[in-house]
A and B are shown apart, each in its own frame.
Chain A
Amino acid sequence: MIEVKSLTRRFGPFTAVDRLTFSVGEGEVLGFLGPNGAGKSTTMKMLTGFLEPSSGTATILGHDIRNDRLAAQREIGYLPEGAPLYGEMTVLQFLEFIAEVRGFHGPERGAKVAAAMGRLQLDDVAGQTIETLSKGYKRRVGLAQAILHDPRVLILDEPTDGLDPNQKHEVRRLIGEMAAGRIIIISTHILEEVHAVCTRAMIIAAGRLVADDTPDGLARLSRYYGALTFQVAAPQQVASDLASLAAAGAVEVSGSEVTVFPKDGGGDLLSAVQQRIAERGWQVSGLRLENGRLDEVFRVITRKAAGHPEPIKEAA
C-alpha cells in the first residue's frame, strides 16, 4: 500500500505539486497522466525519496518517506525520467553494482543480475559499454536495474518515451507481467498506453489531482461516450435529417463523417439511427459506437484545471 497524504512541493513561489492525496494498493497499475510540467515527475521524485516534500508526506508499505527514507527506498524499483545510467560501465558491471548496493553479494548477486538480464533480453549486450547502446537497450538496462531486487513497488517515469512501437509493446508486456502482487506507478502522456497497461488512471494538472478512475471510467466522461459515428456521401443533408430523431442530441459533421450524440433520456440511439438509415436508403460505411475518447477527456479536464473552462471543440 502506498499512501500519499497532502503531498506538496514548492520551487520558490511555484507550486509544482499541490496537496496530492491518494492511495494505491497491491495489484494496481496506476497511470499518472498530465500535460508536461503538471507535476508527475516531481511527485515520483518525492515518492522515491529524491526530493523532500515541502509539506505532507507519503508512506511506502508503511515506511514514511520523510522519516524512514532508506527503508522506503529498499522497497522501490525506480526508473527515473530519461533512464539515466553510468555510461562508461558495461551492462554487466552496472547491474552488478546495483545488485551490490541493494545488498546482494556472491552467488546471490550473480543470480539476481542474470534474472534481470534474462527478463529484459540483455544477455547479448552484457559486455557492451552502456553509452554505446541504442536508446531502446538503454531503457531496458534502466528497467533491469529497477526490477533487479524484485521490488514490491515499481515507479517508472515515462518508461516507453522515445521507444519504437515494438519496444513499447515489449515494455508494456513486461509491466503487465510484473503487475501481480505489486504496486506499479507509471507516468505517461501517451493515452493509448493507459488503456494498454493501467488498471487505474489519475489525471494531474497544475500539481492537482483532477480525475481518478479506471481508464474506461475516464473515457466515459467523454461527450463522445455512446455517440455514433459513420461515413456517408452527403453528410450535411444526413446530419440535418438525423437531428429530428427523438433519441439524437447534437449532430456534428467533419469531412464525410457524421457524429450523432445521444440525448439524455432519448432512448436507444443505435436502433433509431439504423432504422432511419434503412428508411432513407443511405450508403453508410464504418458505423461505430464510440467508447469515449480519452484524449478529449484529457484535454477538457486539463484545460479546465489550467483555467480554460470552455470545452474544446473536437476536430476529428
Chain B
Amino acid sequence: MATIMTLLRRELGAYFMTPVAWVFIVIFLMLSSGMTFFFGGFYERGIADLEPFFRFLPWLYLFLVPAIAMRLWAEERKSGTIELLLTLPITPAEAVVAKYLAAWVFIGIALALTFPLWITVAVLGDPDNGAILTAYLGSWLLAGSYLAIGSCLSALTRNQVVAFILAVVVCFSILLIGVPTVVEALHGLLPSAFADGIAALSLLARFDAFSRGVIDFRDLAYFVLVIVFWLIANRIVIELRKAG
C-alpha cells in the first residue's frame, strides 16, 4: 500500500511538472462549459440542473480520457523506464493500480474544477444537489472506465498515437451500443434477448442513470467491474510483454 502511494504521488506529480496537466485542464474546462452553454442551451432551458453539462460529457471524455491514458504505459516503454520501474521491488499489479489511480485522481481534479457551473445553477435556481452530486460521481466512474480501457491498450504498444486510436475506437464502440438508434438496429439484426444483452453492456445507459441522479447498485457494480476487468487485463499484458 505504501508503495502504491509513493508511485501514485510520483505519477500525479509528473502531470503537473509537464504541460500535460495544464493543457488538459484548460481544454477540458473550455470544451465542457462551451458545450453546456452553446449546444446544451443552459440558460434557454430555464431549468436549474446540470443536464446540459452531463449530456455531452461521455462524448468529450471519449477523446480527452484516451489522451491521458495513452501515455500511461506506452511512454514507459518508449523511454525504457518500464525496466527501471519493474526492477524496483514493485509488483506489476501495484504499478498498474498506482498509475491508474494517479490518472483517475487527476481527471477527478479536472472534473471538480467545473464547480462554477454548479454554483451558477445554485445561484440562479434551486437545483437538486443530491442529483448533481450523483451525476458527478457517474461522470467520474465513466471517466474511470474509459481510463482503465485506455491504460490496458496503452500497455500493448510503445507508440502513443496507436494507443490513443485504439482506446478511442474501443471506448466509442462500448458507448455506441447504448445509443437508441444503434439498439434499434441491433434488434433488427439479432434475436431480441441477444440485442438487449449487448445494449446492457453499454457505458451510456449506466451513465444516463447516474446523470438523472439515480444510484442503482447494479450500475455502480457495472462500472466497478469494467474498471477491474480492464486493469486485470492491463496487468496480464504487462506480465506477458515486458520488453519490446
Contacts and interface: CB of A to CB of B under 8 A. Distances in A.
Given A45-B243, A51-B243, A89-B14, A101 B89 contact: yes
B10 A86 contact: yes
A97 B10 contact: yes
Interface in B42-83: 79-81, 83
Interface string B1-35: 01100110010011001100000000000000000
B87 A73 contact: yes
Interface string A75-90: 0101011101111110
Interface in A63-99: 70, 73-74, 76, 78, 80-82, 84-89, 93, 97-98
B86 interface: yes
A101 B84 contact: no
Contacts of B87: 48-50, 73, 76, 78, 80
A48 B13 CA distance: 27
A288 interface: no
B83 A93 contact: no
Given A45-B243, A97-B6, A88 B84 contact: no
Contact of B242 (A51, A84, A86): A51
A113 to B, nearest CB: 14
Contact of A101 (B3, B13, B243): B3
Given A80-B80, A84-B84, A89-B17, A74 B89 contact: yes
A93 B13 contact: yes
A69 B13 CA distance: 28
Contacts of B90: 70, 101
A98 B81 CA distance: 13
Nearest to A87: B79
Nearest to A79: B84
Contacts of B189: none
Given A50-B243, A88-B17, A89-B17, A98 B79 contact: no
A45 B83 contact: yes
A102 B88 contact: yes
A174 to B, nearest CB: 19
B9 to A, nearest CB: 8
A106 B164 CA distance: 39
A100 interface: yes
Interface size class of chain B, counting residues whose CB lies under 8 Å from the partner chain: 20 to 34
Nearest to B88: A101
Contacts of A76: 87
B106 to A, nearest CB: 14
A151 B10 CA distance: 23
Contacts of B243: 45, 50-51
Contacts of B81: 84-86
Contacts of A102: 88-89
B129 interface: no
- Specify which of A74, A88, A98 lies most central, judged by the most chain B CB atoms within 10 Å of its CB: A88
B91 interface: yes
A48 B84 CA distance: 10
Contact of A49 (B13, B14, B18, B86): B86
A84 B80 CA distance: 5
B83 A84 contact: yes
Contacts of A145: 84
Interface in A254-273: none
Nearest to A94: B10
A50 B242 contact: yes
A87 B81 CA distance: 10
A9 B81 CA distance: 22
A82 B80 contact: yes
Nearest to A82: B80
Interface string B79-121: 1110110111111000000000000000000000000000000
A45 B244 CA distance: 12
A50 B83 contact: yes
A74 B3 CA distance: 13
Contacts of A84: 79-81, 83-84
Question: 10 shortest A-B CB distances, which residue pairs?
Answer: A84-B80, A100-B6, A48-B87, A80-B83, A73-B89, A84-B81, A88-B17, A74-B89, A70-B89, A78-B87
Interface of B: 2-3, 6-7, 10, 13-14, 17-18, 79-81, 83-84, 86-91, 242-243
13 contacts: A49-B86, A50-B243, A52-B242, A70-B89, A78-B84, A78-B87, A80-B84, A85-B84, A87-B79, A100-B6, A101-B7, A102-B88, A102-B89
Given A84-B81, A102-B89, 19 more contacts: A49-B86, A49-B87, A50-B87, A51-B242, A52-B242, A70-B89, A73-B89, A74-B89, A78-B84, A81-B80, A84-B79, A84-B83, A86-B10, A88-B18, A89-B14, A89-B17, A101-B6, A103-B2, A103-B89
Interface of A: 45, 48-52, 70, 73-74, 76, 78, 80-82, 84-89, 93, 97-98, 100-103, 129, 145
